[in-house]
Chains A and B, each alone.
Chain A
Amino acid sequence: MKQPLADTIKIGFLAIATLLVNACSNDHTLSNLDATVFVRHKGADMPAYIKGNANEKIFLITLHGGPGGLGLGFRGNAFNQIEDNYGVVYFDQRGSGMSQGNYSEDDVTIDVMAEDVLALVNVIKRIYGNDSRFFLLGHSWGGALGPATLLKDQSEFLGWINVDGSHSPKDLYFEYIRNFERVAAAQIELGNSVPFWESVYDELDNVDANTVTLDDFNQLNTLAFDAEEYLNDDGIINNAENGNVKVSDYNVLTFIWNLLKIQSILDDDLIGELSFTERLAEITLPSLILWGRYDMVVPEFYAQEAFDNLGSSEKKLVFFEKSGHSPMFTEPNLFAEEVIQFMNQNK
């Protein structure tokens, strides 16, 4: 009996040692980065997944949507191409994805979250050197967090890329109503998914057109995602390519729990309240605005508004004609081309 027991104990220790090595190893080879580092800031431990080719020490920091989305949710064909050229930092924001920590609900503000992004910049400079340079990219909610970060300190960045970003959640609800009426009329005229688009009018009748409430906002937000599915079915929007995020990358239960929690904290401060439109003029970095023409979640109106209000002397607005809210998945080659070209021009 003693020998099998000793063998079992040895196997156990070997297994634990293997697990520990796996849990702690990182590859910081600049030409082929594959590292996961955590940023500890103001009570939160937030993972940054650093990947790609950073031979030039140029990093694209990405801000996911949500709030409560996944940092690695960007990965796919488009970001693979960007990773071939530059380092890409996928970041789980405070209270999102696999972030953990110990802080109060009062510590979850867009102000603190913007400071988290600047803390991430400091960590990358500490790891790869002070000569590291950065671009910032925000998608959806990341399009609000991006300006919040840049308005604190834009000196750290070479450029700002806004992908279907919501720089003004304050007005989004009313724009939903206008956009639904516009798109529904156009689609009915084209004879596309007529029963659905007619039902959109009924949904609009059920919400208050003058005052925004969280319930009504959520109803229209859900309807916006549904509408993009119908636009996809009718061939208006391309099929979305599958992303590279693996099921095993995120514990789904933890992700969902974090998502519900962070949204319950932040939604009241965002919906009908937050707007950076008036302050976009203070952002003077070269900027690239990428938008799906049929974005129902953050309608195209905001693309033009961002373009018109940014204080940048170099700015470009690109519409993806076969895309909705996530052009990186529906037109990945064109998306990657635009991002790489912008980074090449402004590095």
Chain B
Amino acid sequence: MRCKLRLLLLCLFQFTFFSYGQNKSKNQTTNTQLSESFLDRTECKVGFVGTVFWSNGLSVGAEYLWKESEKTKTRKDKERTNTHQFLFNGNLGFVTNFSSKTDTGAYTNFGLTWRRTNKKGKQFNIELNPLGYYRSFLPETYEVNGDSVDKIFLPGRGYYAPSLSAGIGKQRKGKVRSGSYFNINYTMRTPYNSGALPTFSLQYGFRFNFKNKKQ
């Protein structure tokens, strides 16, 4: 019994040792030294947001680079280096349905973005915004309480609206228009009627870094 246990421990030790060694030879992670300047690390973004058919609008936002690392992988004897970033991100948007006047609203949300950029500047990102607020704007609205009917000033409703986006983009290193993005976004509005309303939208736009020199 003790012999079997020793053999097992030896195998486990060897597995740990060799797999660690394999990792070391193929994957390497280096943390990037980031600039101290707030503006160097901040990008603005502006773009379209909406569902095309039912709602269209504008979104503006900012991203602050929190952490960055370079991961080098060796695959099929070729070395690939991808940049991984974590960014704090905030957005402000306004959307409406030009056809119906019943789907107008403004939102703001804040959260964290994870982004991977390859050597060609192609990007993939996931954006999680747990802090979100959506305010609908309704046209002429009247509140009825018994026989009294009152017109409401700036009618609408506020909703807690966390969101999750995933998408692709392209980096333009060193340029003022520093990149573009295309995301698919899921936002939940709650409380909505007697539950929560899931909504999906598209986001397409550009990022700007005004510290960059090239146009």
Residues of chain A at the chain B interface (Cβ within 8 Å)? 1, 8, 12, 15-16, 19-20, 22-26, 35-41, 44-45, 47, 94-95, 98-105, 107-108, 119, 122-123, 125-127, 246-254, 257-258, 261-262, 265
Contacts and interface: CB of A to CB of B under 8 A. Distances in A.
Given A37-B140, A254-B54, 17 more contacts: A1-B210, A8-B46, A12-B58, A37-B142, A38-B140, A40-B144, A98-B100, A100-B192, A100-B193, A102-B192, A119-B144, A123-B149, A127-B142, A248-B53, A248-B99, A252-B54, A261-B194
Contacts of A102: 157, 191-193
Contacts of A265: 194
Contact of A45 (B55, B104, B141): B141
B149 A249 contact: no
B136 interface: yes
7 contacts: A39-B144, A99-B193, A100-B193, A101-B193, A102-B157, A126-B149, A250-B54
A257 B140 contact: no
B178 to A, nearest CB: 13
A125 B148 CA distance: 11
Contact of A249 (B100, B104, B138): B100
Contacts of B140: 24, 26, 35-38
Contacts of A12: 46, 58, 60
A8 B141 CA distance: 33
Given A16-B58, A123-B142, A254-B199, A108 B102 contact: no
B143 to A, nearest CB: 4
Nearest first, the 10 A-B pairs at minimum CB distance are A248-B99, A119-B144, A98-B102, A251-B54, A38-B141, A23-B104, A40-B143, A126-B149, A123-B142, A37-B140
Interface in B113-152: 136-144, 147, 149, 151-152
Contact of A248 (B54, B139, B147, B176): B54
Contact of A22 (B98, B136, B210, B215): B98
B155 interface: yes
B12 interface: no
Nearest to A11: B58
B141 A104 contact: no
Given A40-B143, A253-B199, A248 B100 contact: yes
